Amino acid sequence: MTDTWKRYRELLCSVPSLGLTLDPSRMRFGAGFFDETARDMDRAYTAMEDLEKGAIANPDEKRMVGHYWLRDPARAPSPEIRSQIERALEQIRSFSMGVHEGRIRPPNAPRFTQVLVIGIGGSALGPLFVADALGDRARDRMRIHFIDNTDPDGIDRVLSGLSGKLPETLAIVTSKSGGTPETRNGMIHAAAAYRAAGLQFPAHAVAITMEGSRMDELARSEGWLERFPMFDWVGGRTSELSGVGLLPAALQGIDIEGLLAGAKACDEATRSRDTRSNPAAVLALVWLHATGGKGEKDMVVLPYKDRLVLFSKYLQQLVMESLGKRLDLQGRRVDQGIAVYGNKGSTDQHAYVQQLRDGVNNFFVTFIRVLESGGAAIEIDPGITAGDYLHGFLLGTREALYGNDRESVTITVPRVDARVVGALIALFERAVGFYATLVGINAYHQPGVEAGKKAAAEVLDLELRVLKALGASPRTAEDLASAAGAADSMELVYLLLEHLAANGRAKMALKKDPAETTFTRP
Amino acid sequence: MTDTWKRYRELLCSVPSLGLTLDPSRMRFGAGFFDETARDMDRAYTAMEDLEKGAIANPDEKRMVGHYWLRDPARAPSPEIRSQIERALEQIRSFSMGVHEGRIRPPNAPRFTQVLVIGIGGSALGPLFVADALGDRARDRMRIHFIDNTDPDGIDRVLSGLSGKLPETLAIVTSKSGGTPETRNGMIHAAAAYRAAGLQFPAHAVAITMEGSRMDELARSEGWLERFPMFDWVGGRTSELSGVGLLPAALQGIDIEGLLAGAKACDEATRSRDTRSNPAAVLALVWLHATGGKGEKDMVVLPYKDRLVLFSKYLQQLVMESLGKRLDLQGRRVDQGIAVYGNKGSTDQHAYVQQLRDGVNNFFVTFIRVLESGGAAIEIDPGITAGDYLHGFLLGTREALYGNDRESVTITVPRVDARVVGALIALFERAVGFYATLVGINAYHQPGVEAGKKAAAEVLDLELRVLKALGASPRTAEDLASAAGAADSMELVYLLLEHLAANGRAKMALKKDPAETTFTRP
């Protein structure tokens, strides 16, 4: 055990300006690890410096990657970009102040009290995480709600939770491209609900989107309350510290200056080329060590703090969408990535930590340790609080995993406040960037997501053709597939018909063999 | 594509009584797979039959495993057990009816309107899943809240959400053993909040626990409103259809008869020894195929329906705690398990499906397809609804994954109602049981969880000794470790001191080298 103390002291990586430490001592890399990886890390530092200076860091999409400028506009590569960022921030501050003071208000109520965020992926995961991590019902200026899918039942549930409150609900529609179908569908359902309540949607809506996008044009032509810019050089999964995250947070009453300051401080600490003192670099190297640079192990994220329960969902996107790539920068097939999952400790100790301790060794844990317990300081046992238990469970589990040859890295923060949340986001953003260079991939595009949208559009097109082919006389899926010009897609046609039948748009006479099941127009 | 249709029809596994199908056609097992595994499946059926008849199916703990009897008490191995189950169900029905009718009421309010569930692991994940899947604010009889951790800040957030409503809040404290520390801590905090509001906790509390447990004794001696039994032969992770899940659900107004009937119908369908028509058997074999019987791939659970978003969290426990085992039944080291993660589609398509499509091929997907769209039937495009998009995204993603050699299994259900939720729970319970036999492990114990509790207790004991050793003159962690009789645990002592300092119970003079940092009594 004396060895663990020595190794802890040698490897501990501190950011005094944030009170944040990263402890990689329970990863079993060898003494020469930092030396062996020094040249690769040098490349990663250089790539990151180029990126921060405005290089085309996303070559496939020929885009700059500028999320680091958002919290330090003076670093923007041109005065125009700097002033874009500063104007956008000012717009957010003044709009949210106007809403809080009741100067910006809905037509039929004295003020906005509810915020409805409509967005998906990068337009929802960050806002959801921050709203939960930093919100407090008693203190929040406004209540926040989310529509983050195209499930009509799920949308109804959110809207019915706003029942009676729509007159005082501000809707934020967020889509960088302005063409995300889920977001558009959510918006259409929300607008219908406003109309059904006798309200004008445009008087309750703001858009966050790129200038000139379809969403932007819609908002302009309908006269929405306000339009906030998204920038070409900010990707969805790194947009939490752009308007995407800052506008809902500011409206909720969250300290957005703290978020930005924390991220900026973390960026400063993680620009250092002194790897051992750079927590983002150490984190990227920890991933390299744990996964063999090939995603061989899953990243289990275990914050011991309820407020951080959504951090792993947020990191799922940041890490997996950035690193999960088929091709490397040279166009070679690599099938890269690291799977991420987790919820919170000690809750998860009563769920899957059994497997982590005893079962298949296909993961490493990222513990997030929050020093201040918070809450009521009640003695549970003499001298012991519920917070001591929480902390004790973390240390006990870390120890037990290590004893059974399971690796972990521990990030310690003083508390969960805006500065710390900003810093955690920035820490993982930069670690992802470093790691992408280490394994030679583009972290900033998402070709599979685009392909997914296309695949779904084809399915919907086929659905329309199948609907058209339905008639009064019973036909099998095979018949209908032929009629719809999709004789090679019988299974797909059958599945579409099953869905249509369940929703009253086809009648189905079910047989044991799906090939004999017939369908008619209802 | 004609091949996929043929394979779909050949392999589709239907449960007509439930309208449920399981489609394994996008798993690439060969034509002889069912024959090759027939003998192993025979053993699995026999083991399951023995279990259902009351064999000691959990040999380490020398326990019967009886969750299947809960929904079909006539199958209980003795009249005593049958009547225990029936009495417990009757108690739940009559208690919740009494609460709804206001006959069972709090001292200082006309009726209970809020339910606060205090529990963790198996005592929270099922109730959370079912409350979210089947609850509806507009229809629910009572509003439900959860304390599922020992985070004092998290507990405070839940209790402050109940601010002003404690007089009409019924607290359910659930702990099988009656000694789960997190649950006890949550209860102590909740009781303090009731006291601070001038209320008597016992007049607002019920316990769900084994007869004679510490919790049972406490509830009896303090005169709580009611005590509900847990049975020795029901494990936490399979307790959703015992009082643990049924009591909160019944209070919320969820159709518990439907839950039980759905589970019973699924049990009946999955008792068949005709493997190809038994969805639990096919599911277990799919896992065997995908993971090589060694956890080589992760199980990604992707329900395309907001109401099922917590199902993957529920399955994380059911699958990972059951299968994540170090030793097989012969005592050989096997390090078994299957990692489970997922949230919901199409939301996750904008998070990590990029990696699933393009990245590291270390998973298989379990799609859950819900036929009825629900919600408002608004046309988004001519002839197309938001629900068509949702369904289209599922089919598109399933197709794209298959095209890139990623496997998936699809479970289709007509809708998300109590019967279907009961059936889904039963389906996975039995698949886990079958799979455990296939790989030769005990699915019904959790030695690692017990070890975790012990490790934490040792940490807390050390914390008390360190607190005692703190004095007026500054001492290093090494000094204090020696004084606390833990010279071999310097790192642990340092981490404890850091935590104590952050919470005002030690004063810390931070140095660059943790070994030089000193601590005093505050």
CB atoms A2 and B414 under 8 Å: no
CB atoms A350 and B392 under 8 Å: no
Distance from CA of A31 to the nearest CA of B (A): 19
pLDDT tens figures, A338-363: 999 999 999 999 999 999 999 999 99
pLDDT at B430: 98
Residue A421 has pLDDT above 80, yes or no: yes
Query: B342 to chain A: nearest residue by CA?
Result: A341
Residue B1 has pLDDT above 80, yes or no: no
Residue A131 has pLDDT above 70, yes or no: yes
Q: DSSP code of A69?
A: G
Residue B247 has pLDDT above 90, yes or no: yes
pLDDT tens figures, B308-347: 999 999 999 999 999 999 999 999 999 999 999 999 999 9
Query: Torsion angle, CA of A457/A462/A465/A469, rounded to 10 degrees?
Result: -160
pLDDT (average), residues A114-119: 98
Tokens 């455990």 found at: B436
Sort B309 into a burial class: Cβ within 10 Å, 0-12 / 13-18 / 19+: buried
For residue B321, give the nearest of A8, A325, A352 by CB distance.
Answer: A352
Residue A1 has pLDDT above 70, yes or no: no
Sort B77 into a burial class: Cβ within 10 Å, 0-12 / 13-18 / 19+: middle
Phi-psi category of B488—alpha, beta or left, where left has phi over 0 and alpha has psi -120 to 50?
alpha
Please state, as a whole number, how many other Cβ atoms lie within 10 Å of the Cβ of residue A215. 26
User: How many helices (H) and strands (E) are present in chain B, helices listed first?
Assistant: 19, 16
The encoded tokens of residue B185 equal 């801590």
Interface of B with A in 271-330 (CB under 8 A): 294-295, 298, 304-307, 313, 316-317, 320-321, 323-326
| Spatial distance between the Cα atoms of A156 and A200, rounded to a whole number of angstroms | 19
Nearest to A171 by CA among A246, A114, A102, A126: A114
Q: Which residues in chain A are contacts of B390 at CB distance < 8 A?
A: 149-152
Degrees to nearest 5, angle at CA A285 with A281 and A289: 170
**What pTM was computed for the model?**
0.98
- A459 touching B, CB under 8 A? yes
Residue A448 has pLDDT above 60, yes or no: yes
Degrees to nearest 5, angle at CA B8 with B5 and B9: 90
Q: Which residues make beta-bridge pairs with A118?
A: A147, A173
Phi-psi category of B29—alpha, beta or left, where left has phi over 0 and alpha has psi -120 to 50?
beta
pLDDT grade for B456, boundaries at 50, 70 and 90: confident
- B449 touching A, CB under 8 A? yes
Is B464 in contact with B485 (CB distance < 8 Å)? Answer: no
pLDDT at A306: 98
Give every strand in the sheet of B518-520, ordered side by side: B475-476, B518-520, B507-509
- Going through B55-204 in order, the beta strands assigned E by DSSP cover 114-118, 143-147, 169-174
| Spatial distance between the Cα atoms of A178 and A229, rounded to a whole number of angstroms | 11
Exposure string of B408-423, with b = 16+ CB inside 10 Å and e = fewer, is: bbbbbbbbbbbbbbbb
pLDDT tens figures, B58-73: 999 999 999 999 999 9
pLDDT (average), residues A410-434: 98
Q: Please identify which of the residues B52, B168, B226, B321 carries the catalytic annotation.
A: B321
Query: B371 to chain A: nearest residue by CA?
Result: A499
For residue B137, give the nearest of A120, A160, A388 by CB distance.
Answer: A160
Degrees to nearest 5, angle at CA B54 with B52 and B57: 85
Average pLDDT, chain A: 97
Phi-psi category of A377—alpha, beta or left, where left has phi over 0 and alpha has psi -120 to 50?
beta
Nearest to B182 by CA among B464, B521, B456, B486: B456
Number of residues assigned to chain B: 522
- Going through B110-180 in order, the beta strands assigned E by DSSP cover 114-118, 143-147, 169-174
CB atoms B375 and A400 under 8 Å: no
pLDDT grade for B448, boundaries at 50, 70 and 90: confident
Residue A234 has pLDDT above 70, yes or no: yes
pLDDT tens figures, B165-204: 999 999 999 999 888 999 999 999 999 999 999 999 999 9
In this structure, which long-range contacts are made by residues A103-106, counting pairs with CB atoms below 8 Å and at least 24 apart in sequence? A104/A225, A104/A226, A106/A167, A106/A168, A106/A169, A106/A170, A106/A199, A106/A203, A106/A204
CB atoms B350 and A122 under 8 Å: yes
Number of residues assigned to chain A: 522
| Spatial distance between the Cα atoms of A44 and A438, rounded to a whole number of angstroms | 6
For residue A460, give the nearest of B358, B374, B384 by CB distance.
Answer: B384
Intra-chain end-to-end CA distance of chain A, in Å = 73
The encoded tokens of residue B221 equal 């001696």
Percent of chain B with pLDDT over 70: 100
CB atoms A358 and B325 under 8 Å: yes
pLDDT (average), residues A279-287: 98
pLDDT tens figures, B14-44: 999 999 999 999 999 999 999 999 999 999 9
| Spatial distance between the Cα atoms of A298 and A433, rounded to a whole number of angstroms | 18
Q: Which residues in chain B are contacts of A156 at CB distance < 8 A?
A: 374-376
pLDDT at A171: 98
CB atoms A1 and B491 under 8 Å: yes
Distances from the Cα of B195 to the Cαs of A381, A386, B115, B188, B189, in angstroms? 18, 18, 17, 10, 10
Question: What ipTM does this complex have?
Answer: 0.97
CA-based R_g, chain B, Å:
25
Catalytic annotation present for B350? yes
Query: B510 to chain A: nearest residue by CA?
Result: A16
| Spatial distance between the Cα atoms of B315 and B435, rounded to a whole number of angstroms | 14
Which 3 state secondary structure label does DSSP give B498?
Answer: helix
What is the largest distance, in Å, between two alpha-carbon atoms of chain B? 81
| Spatial distance between the Cα atoms of A16 and B510, rounded to a whole number of angstroms | 10
| Spatial distance between the Cα atoms of B343 and B339, rounded to a whole number of angstroms | 14
In this structure, which long-range contacts are made by residues B484-487, counting pairs with CB atoms below 8 Å and at least 24 apart in sequence? B486/B462
Residue A113 has pLDDT above 90, yes or no: yes
Average pLDDT, chain B: 97
pLDDT tens figures, B263-307: 999 999 999 999 999 999 999 999 999 999 999 999 999 999 999
Catalytic residues of A: 321, 350, 453
pLDDT (average), residues A174-195: 96
pLDDT at B449: 83
**Interface probe, candidates A2, A25, A151, A417, chain B, greatest B C-beta count within 10 A:** A151
Residue A2 has pLDDT above 70, yes or no: no
pLDDT tens figures, B9-21: 999 999 999 999 9
Is B75 in contact with B65 (CB distance < 8 Å)? Answer: no
pLDDT tens figures, B114-168: 999 999 999 999 999 999 999 998 899 999 999 999 999 999 999 999 999 999 9
CB atoms B339 and A325 under 8 Å: no
User: Beta strand B408-413 with B363-370: parallel, antiparallel or unpaired?
Assistant: parallel
Which 3 state secondary structure label does DSSP give A447?
Answer: helix
pLDDT grade for B516, boundaries at 50, 70 and 90: very high
pLDDT (average), residues B404-431: 98
Percent of chain B with pLDDT over 90: 97
Query: A374 to chain B: nearest residue by CA?
Result: B153
| Spatial distance between the Cα atoms of A260 and A68, rounded to a whole number of angstroms | 10
The encoded tokens of residue A1 equal 């055990």
Query: Torsion angle, CA of B374/A184/A101/A72, rounded to 10 degrees?
Result: 130
Q: DSSP code of A333?
A: B
Nearest to A48 by CA among A37, A39, A40, A57: A57
Phi then psi for residue A408, to 5 deg, are: -155, 155
pLDDT (average), residues A63-68: 97
CB atoms A160 and B182 under 8 Å: no
The encoded tokens of residue A112 equal 């906005």
Please state, as a whole number, how many other Cβ atoms lie within 10 Å of the Cβ of residue A53. 12
pLDDT grade for A116, boundaries at 50, 70 and 90: very high
Nearest to A308 by CA among A266, A344, A339, A349: A344
